[in-house]
Structure 1
Amino acid sequence: MTDRPAGRPPGEAAAPSAEPGGERIDAVVVGAGFAGLYALHRLRTDGFSVRLFEASDAIGGVWNHNRYPGARCDIESMDYSYGFSEEIQQEWNWSERYASQPEILRYLTFVADRLGLWDGITFGTRVAGADFDEDTARWTVRTEGGATVHARYLIMATGVLSTARTPDFPGRERFGGEAYHTGRWPRSEIDFTGKRVGVIGTGSSGVQLIPIVARQAAELTVFQRTPNFTMPAQNAPLAPDFVREWKATYAERRALARRSGFGHSQPTNPARVMAVPDRERTAEFERRWESGGLYMLRAFSDILKDEEGNELCAEFVRGKIAEIVRDPKTAEALTPRGFPFGTKRLCSGTGYYETYNRGNVRLVDVRRTPITEITETGLRTGEQEHPLDVLIYATGFDAMTGSFLGVDIRGSGGRPLREKWASGPLTYLGLTTAGFPNLFLLTAPGSPSVLSNMVISAEQHVNWVADCLDHLRRHGLRSIEARAQAELHWVAHVNEKADETLYPRADSWYVGANVPGKPRVFMPYVGGVGVYAQKCDEVAATGYEGFELR
């Protein structure tokens, strides 16, 4: 370990800053989060020449940019970590059940040091576009600085929750106070003491941020459009005996996670929600509430499929909100209705509902009284103006597609990816898209992605891609491209699996509902992490069925 700032390269000499203009290499990786760092390591280990471009000056991806107070993972830290290296998982020690943003960044820095990754990363370099040359079967990758790199393969590890979205409220640019977005938080510490703070949004970042700001601010006004189901995180320091036991059984736990539905080792109750007596069902809900985090999603095997049983779970959580929040009107405003439990991203926080019992916290329902404009001194709704010194946008991301479409990627015939995905993302296996040879999209639409432990999913994707590139190399092949028919069959399969669940009934960011004008398409694969990996392996084992290899 080192005492330098987490996430930063260890010095100018070890982290090249010169643009490698015109360089010819095997692969370009875009993005230095969990997926990109592992892709760099795995491909270099396999003997490929690789260059990783990172727009920031630090590694970490989403954990580099989401530095807001309270930022924390909702997957347990012992699960939310790399499993490819026994040495790394034994050497690193997590301090808490759910790791905070600073600790995750320290972990990734430790991994980059341990694997010697820094010299493969070009920092401060945003990829602007990439064009596929059909004659040479190579990608010409262009940076915003004007440099070009010619690569056989382009691997997009840009993350699916990395394009921050700020609603275009009238007058937003006029606000004279401090303004922040949780997805682009500054590195310096922000002091809210004595200030009037407004937070727009009560999704995951808002739920984590709000209790901390409330303890500092003179006044906190929360502007909520849609209340979300929020579970108590039940976070705590990790006991040494617990860590030793987990590390001793890591092999079994990782195997379980890779076979599971969501990519981690949380226990799932195999019983069906309506097949047990009322008392037993309530007791299971209570156990899951006390376990905290996302455990409620595994309370019963069909909780995301059985409408009646799902509603019983939702009513249980609504009862908890009514017990915690003392003011009945505020409690009702915080109570989610109109969508099944768990079909919007389930939130996990500490003291979230309790925060609304504080005298300095107000809740404004902007569905009832919408925000009409941002003023120089605050925010105006349909009822009144709210004077503010600080305005925080906890308004999420252009999820799943935003980061891929933010790069001008043009495939065969110069067709832009943005044009192809105009009516919604089309992928084969959530890894590739027809018409774009040698392009790989990590944790993209059509894969388990955001409905899984992203580290497990990233590792599985990188391993599949690396094995594929090795297959091409061994057989003297220049390119691989998804067939259009295979892609259509996969998209139909993804939709079929989603329709077996309650997920499509919610206006969530899983379907792009948070971005005006975005096509409504359910994007993640809900068939399960283990089932998905098996399907990917079967495709590879048959000589890459559904692909054209040239």
Structure 2
Amino acid sequence: MLDVIVVGAGFAGVYALYKFRRLGFSVRAFEAGGDVGGTWYWNRYPGCRCDIESIYYSYQFDDDLQQDWEWTERYASQPEILSYIRHVADRFDLRRDIRFNTRVTAATFEEAADQAPSHWMVTTDDGQTHRARFCIMASGVLSTPNLPDIPGRDTFAGATYHTGQWPHEQVDFSGLKVAVIGTGSSGIQCIPLIAAQAGHVSVFQRTPNYAVPASNRPLETDELNDVKSRYGEIRAASKKGFTALPFKPAGRSALAVSEQERDDVYERWWGDFGLAFQGAFADLLFDAQANRTASDFVRRKIRELVDDEELAELLTPDFPLGCKRMCVDTDYYPTYNRDNVTLVDISRDPIDGIVPEGIRVGETVHAVDAIVFATGYDAITGALLAMDLRGRNGLLLREKWTDGPRVYLGLATHGFPNLFMVNGPGSPSVLINMVTGVEQHVDWIADCLVHMRERGLDAIEAEAQHEDAWAVHNDEVAQRSIRGDCASWYTGANIPGKPGGFLPYVGGFPAYVERCDQVVENGYAGFALRSFRSPVLCGDA
């Protein structure tokens, strides 16, 4: 029997494997893909790159790794990020404990019996079963593609692609008529590059999105050397940052300065700060009036960048900035000035179906040679619920979460002892620098397992009243934020039938870490810990 099974080998799974092995646990990871990388293995669409700067979107657990790796661009592309995580796997000899091309389909908790400790029985798609005392779900928050159930989808005569399942070989759109459905992050990244190659691109947009310029550029050697000399300082500042990034707002309130001062700040942050633009002032995500000043600034930018006034209005969001995931782009809005790009507004007249020739909207068939579904993911919970996860007494996770997920600190859920989630619902996850969040989660779980090992404890389980209280707190914080004001994939609104509720924790990285630390300081308060040799609860001591 293994000590730990890790599901997934993206940034979370790779670090978990490294960490548990270093602590002397026997561990094995299972990965559905053919290599490490997670989302960066599967997402290979044109223009795919991270919206967090590369010098921050990287591990900090090993200083030699930080010093040795050379990032080439401000915002790393998918191939470079994949090369980085492959380097990490090779550098620390992690591949020997990863089973690639192996998908976990089910996991069942087995109670302690006959002097054997409680454990998880994990089943993979090759029919094999594997036992481990602990199961770590590092299955990814953006790893289950959402392919909309459009009537006639399978009748289309041309090629279809999903940005989250892009072919490994290069796709050539030269001279083709291409439809792109969706204008979220992946759509905004791929549309300019597809338009530069294709004969014509028809973009089907239901909801316009805010995008700020990446201002991407090569990283100079002197700049990299300066960062490396200050990495300790940068990482410390990041841990104090609301989004686990080392940015401080220009002021506490957008309403406390003159209009000219405010616009000067927005202009500077628009050009230099990328995704951090939404934090230019501390109250932009919490005060509607303050947010309106930033939203209006970006709306003006869109109207300046798009030549056709009517088209500019269709591309201009009417919801608050930050309510949905903001995007970082390269030449997205100017792409609509091209003669070979057409925007199809499906907000009022939705797609009726797909036919062999193309996409039908009302009485019009938009004839195309290829369709790109840039339609996102079943985010945060999708990968977990795709597996048959059964806890104590056969409790099915899918049934427990019928009305929405209940997860204590985003780490563990009642009824599923010894099962931990990395970036689970109720953790900051997608609202912060994911790599920093991954390391914090894995470190917390690893410390917990060491605590149990040193005390001869067999099982740990989140207590129902504490996970309920955390869910209430998460909802309250979300409702105080602009982010809770509209339907988005943060709330599961992009998946028909998915229960509502704000999935990530909005309270910021420092507040979240403080709460996790308090739980440990108070003897893992909110968790019940047991030894199979004794039925006594020891968690709240």
Q: TM-score, normalised by structure 2?
A: 0.96
Q: Which amino acid aligns with 1:147?
A: Q
Contact 1:273 1:281 in 2 (8 A): yes
Matched, 1:490 2:474: no
What secondary structure does 1:509 align onto?
coil
Question: Where does residue 401 of structure 1 map in the other structure?
Answer: 381
Task: Supply the distance in 2 between the matched residues of 1:329 and 1:146 (Cα, whole angstroms).
Answer: 56
Task: Supply the distance in 1 between the matched residues of 2:162 and 2:31 (Cα, whole angstroms).
Answer: 21
**Which structure 1 residue ranges, 5 or more long, are not aligned?**
1-23
Matched, 1:140 2:121: yes
Q: Which amino acid aligns with 1:515?
A: I
Question: Where does residue 285 of structure 1 map in the other structure?
Answer: 266
1:473 is matched with which residue: 429, 453, 477?
A: 453
Q: Which amino acid aligns with 2:211?
A: T
Matched, 1:501 2:478: no
Contact 2:7 2:30 in 1 (8 A): yes
**What are the equivalent positions in structure 2 for 1:149-164 lying under 5 Å apart?**
149-164=130-145
Task: Supply the distance in 2 between the matched residues of 1:84 and 1:59 (Cα, whole angstroms).
Answer: 18
Contact 1:369 1:383 in 2 (8 A): no
By how many angstroms is 1:368 displaced? 2.2
Matched, 1:439 2:434: no
Question: Where does residue 203 of structure 2 map in the other structure?
Answer: 222
Question: Where does residue 178 of structure 1 map in the other structure?
Answer: 159
More off after superposition, 347-356 vs 530-539: 530-539
Task: Supply the distance in 2 between the matched residues of 1:116 and 1:277 (Cα, whole angstroms).
Answer: 56
Q: Which amino acid aligns with 1:497?
A: V
Contact 2:379 2:492 in 1 (8 A): yes
By how many angstroms is 1:57 displaced? 1.0
Q: Which amino acid aligns with 1:358?
A: R
Question: Where does residue 417 of structure 1 map in the other structure?
Answer: 397
Task: Supply the distance in 1 between the matched residues of 2:65 and 2:437 (Cα, whole angstroms).
Answer: 18
Matched, 1:327 2:302: no
Question: Where does residue 74 of structure 1 map in the other structure?
Answer: 51
Question: Where does residue 258 of structure 1 map in the other structure?
Answer: 239
Contact 2:479 2:485 in 1 (8 A): no
By how many angstroms is 1:503 displaced? 1.0
Question: How many residues align structurally?
Answer: 526
Q: Which runs of 4+ in 1 moved over 2 A?
A: 266-271
By how many angstroms is 1:271 displaced? 2.2
1:110 is matched with which residue: 66, 71, 87?
A: 87
What secondary structure does 2:274 align onto?
coil
Task: Supply the distance in 2 between the matched residues of 1:542 and 1:504 (Cα, whole angstroms).
Answer: 31
What secondary structure does 1:371 align onto?
coil
Task: Supply the distance in 1 between the matched residues of 2:452 and 2:332 (Cα, whole angstroms).
Answer: 51
Q: Which amino acid aligns with 1:88?
A: L
**Which structure 2 residue ranges, 5 or more long, are not aligned?**
531-541
What secondary structure does 2:490 align onto?
helix
Contact 2:18 2:94 in 1 (8 A): yes
Matched, 1:245 2:222: no
Task: Supply the distance in 2 between the matched residues of 1:157 and 1:239 (Cα, whole angstroms).
Answer: 34
Contact 2:380 2:503 in 1 (8 A): yes
Question: Where does residue 62 of structure 1 map in the other structure?
Answer: 39
Q: Which amino acid aligns with 1:365?
A: D
1:537 is matched with which residue: 499, 508, 517?
A: 517
Question: Where does residue 217 of structure 2 map in the other structure?
Answer: 236
Q: Which amino acid aligns with 1:93?
A: E
Q: TM-score, normalised by structure 1?
A: 0.95
By how many angstroms is 1:269 displaced? 2.3
Task: Supply the distance in 2 between the matched residues of 1:367 and 1:278 (Cα, whole angstroms).
Answer: 33
What secondary structure does 2:383 align onto?
helix
Q: Which amino acid aligns with 2:33?
A: S
1:454 is matched with which residue: 434, 437, 453?
A: 434
Question: Where does residue 129 of structure 1 map in the other structure?
Answer: 106
Question: Where does residue 336 of structure 1 map in the other structure?
Answer: 317
Contact 1:253 1:265 in 2 (8 A): yes
Contact 1:259 1:531 in 2 (8 A): no
Task: Supply the distance in 1 between the matched residues of 2:155 and 2:248 (Cα, whole angstroms).
Answer: 50
Contact 1:229 1:346 in 2 (8 A): yes
Contact 1:78 1:94 in 2 (8 A): yes
Task: Supply the distance in 1 between the matched residues of 2:156 and 2:14 (Cα, whole angstroms).
Answer: 38
By how many angstroms is 1:200 displaced? 0.1
Task: Supply the distance in 2 between the matched residues of 1:306 and 1:276 (Cα, whole angstroms).
Answer: 15
More off after superposition, 499-508 vs 394-403: 499-508
- Show CA shifts across 1:55-99 (max 9, x none): 111110000000001000000000000001101010001000000
More off after superposition, 424-433 vs 286-295: 286-295
Contact 1:126 1:143 in 2 (8 A): yes
By how many angstroms is 1:383 displaced? 4.2
Task: Supply the distance in 1 between the matched residues of 2:55 and 2:248 (Cα, whole angstroms).
Answer: 14
Task: Supply the distance in 2 between the matched residues of 1:259 and 1:146 (Cα, whole angstroms).
Answer: 45
Task: Supply the distance in 2 between the matched residues of 1:493 and 1:218 (Cα, whole angstroms).
Answer: 51
What secondary structure does 2:132 align onto?
strand
Question: Where does residue 534 of structure 2 map in the other structure?
Answer: none
- Show CA shifts across 1:217-268 (max 9, x none): 0010000000000111100001111111111110011111112110112332
Task: Supply the distance in 1 between the matched residues of 2:170 and 2:208 (Cα, whole angstroms).
Answer: 28
What secondary structure does 2:260 align onto?
helix
Contact 2:252 2:282 in 1 (8 A): yes
- Show CA shifts across 1:344-389 (max 9, x none): 0001110000000000000000112210010101111014100100
By how many angstroms is 1:295 displaced? 2.3
Q: Which amino acid aligns with 1:201?
A: G
Question: Where does residue 11 of structure 1 map in the other structure?
Answer: none
- Show CA shifts across 1:268-302 (max 9, x none): 22321111111111111111111142121111000
What secondary structure does 2:342 align onto?
strand
Q: Which amino acid aligns with 2:65?
A: I
Task: Supply the distance in 2 between the matched residues of 1:499 and 1:366 (Cα, whole angstroms).
Answer: 29
Contact 1:482 1:547 in 2 (8 A): yes
Question: Where does residue 351 of structure 1 map in the other structure?
Answer: 331
Task: Supply the distance in 1 between the matched residues of 2:241 and 2:280 (Cα, whole angstroms).
Answer: 15
Contact 2:5 2:27 in 1 (8 A): yes
Contact 1:427 1:433 in 2 (8 A): yes
- Show CA shifts across 1:132-152 (max 9, x none): 012241000011111111100
Task: Supply the distance in 2 between the matched residues of 1:365 and 1:292 (Cα, whole angstroms).
Answer: 30
- Show CA shifts across 1:452-479 (max 9, x none): 1000000000000000000000000001
What secondary structure does 1:51 align onto?
strand
What secondary structure does 2:389 align onto?
strand
- Show CA shifts across 1:1-45 (max 9, x none): xxxxxxxxxxxxxxxxxxxxxxx1001000000000000000000
Q: Which amino acid aligns with 2:436?
A: I
Q: Which amino acid aligns with 2:75?
A: Y
Contact 2:241 2:248 in 1 (8 A): no
- Show CA shifts across 1:403-437 (max 9, x none): 11111110001000001111001000100001100
Task: Supply the distance in 2 between the matched residues of 1:255 and 1:432 (Cα, whole angstroms).
Answer: 27
Q: Equivalent pairs: percent with the same residue?
A: 52
Contact 1:343 1:506 in 2 (8 A): yes
